[in-house]
Structure formats: structure tokens, C-alpha cells
Chain A
Amino acid sequence: DVKVTQSSRYLVKRTGEKVFLECVQDMDHENMFWYRQDPGLGLRLIYFSYDVKMKEKGDIPEGYSVSREKKERFSLILESASTNQTSMYLCASSLPGVRKTEAFFGQGTRLTVV
């Protein structure tokens, strides 16, 4: 089974802190994603990576950056956390081509910014 592991289930950070969310997948998938999940808004794509050191902005990249130094690891960085970034963050990975739409998700990190 594909396993996508997010380093933290719950995080509480202060406004202005730099926050790192880590994600590791064990199936050698080329593609990795970071989504944000908010009630009533569904899953919104923050960033996407299709290879090591390669990244593309999603729908809501403002206030976020990403790092992919190794194929299995994709990190989301909140440069200066703000209260409106309080949310559930979901990491996912997938195969290339049409299979990219079949994403495997981690359990999520619920981030609270106070």
C-alpha cells in the first residue's frame, strides 16, 4: 500500500513564526501536492511538484513556499504564519499521466495559528 506520512497531526504556532510541514511518501511517486482543506471550500491546491527541485504554483500559493530536495519528501513552508492560515493541510502523491488524478493522501496536519 502507498503510504503518505505527514510529520505532525496537530500544530499550534504563533503569528509571524516560520512553519515547516513535512511529508514523505514511500512509493517512488513523481508527483506530490499540498492542499488546504477548509469547511465549505473543499480542497484547494497550494503547490505541486512533478520532480525533485521542480514546483508549480497552485490556486492559492500566496504566503507559502515549498521544497523538494529528495523525491520522497515534499515540504510546505509558511514564511510568516498568519491566523488566516489556520487550516487542515493535506499532502498527496501520485503517479504520472492520467494516474496523476488518483492522488494518495496523508492523514493531514491541523495547523492552528494564534
Chain B
Amino acid sequence: QQQVKQSPQSLIVQKGGISIINCAYENTAFDYFPWYQQFPGKGPALLIAIRPDVSEKKEGRFTISFNKSAKQFSLHIMDSQPGDSATYFCAGGGGGSYIPTFGRGTSLIVHP
């Protein structure tokens, strides 16, 4: 059972465009949702995280939107740059254990 479903699997965006990655979760005990960014040859690194008591969180060009009733959350990358080209993972945690459960990842390519 895939507890965190992520889409799309791959995404190509032109420089300056908006990249949007969507995730949906099934475990209603989840109450913490981080996003990770992974460059080739590196391990994933925490990018931004949100709790369901807020509907949006912004850090620079990165924004998480959260819809608790739909059990969905998304990452928006504004003014996408070639340096943003990476694999992005959403995750959920909660229910006492908070062990991160990851989506399957989105490979983002930003063309110059």
C-alpha cells in the first residue's frame, strides 16, 4: 500500500516557469509533511516542511500548499532555474512514530 502518492513522475519546465509537484496521503495520522531535494550523486536534503494547521508555507521561490480535507499537498517552484533540476520527494510522518514515508519522487528538469 502506497501511503504517499506523488505525481508527476517526471517534469520538464522552461527557465522562469512554475514547477508544480503534487502529493496525496492516505494515513490520516500523518501531521508533518517535508519535501526533499536530491541532486545526482547526493543523498536527499530537506527543502521545506509544513504542518496541516497552515494552508501554505513559503520559503524563497519554494511554496508548499496544503489541503487537509483532500489529504493533498503540493510543492510550487516559482521562477524555476536550471539549478533546480533535481529529484524531489514528498514525505509524511506522524501517528506517534514520525518515521518519514516517502513518495516515489519527481524528476524535474528545467531547461535554460
B46: chain A residues within 8 A (beta carbon): 102-104
Q: Of residues 12 to 52 in B, which have CB atoms within 8 Å of A's CB atoms?
A: 31-32, 34, 36, 41-46, 49
Interface residues of A (CB under 8 A from B): 4, 33, 35, 40-45, 48, 58, 90, 92, 97-108
Residue numbers in B under 8 Å from A41 (CB-CB): 104
Chain B interface size band reads 20 to 34
Binary contact track B92-108/A, C-beta < 8 Å → 1, others 0: 11100111111111000
Q: Known contacts A43-B102, A100-B98, A100-B100; is A105 also within 8 Å of B43 by CB?
A: yes
Give the nearest-CB partner of A96 in chain B. B98
A105 touching B99, Cβ below 8 Å: no
Chain B, 73-112, CB within 8 A of any chain A CB: 89, 91-94, 97-105
Q: Is B9 an interface residue (CB 8 A)?
A: yes
5 A-B residue pairings within 8 Å (CB atoms): A4-B43, A44-B102, A98-B94, A100-B100, A105-B36
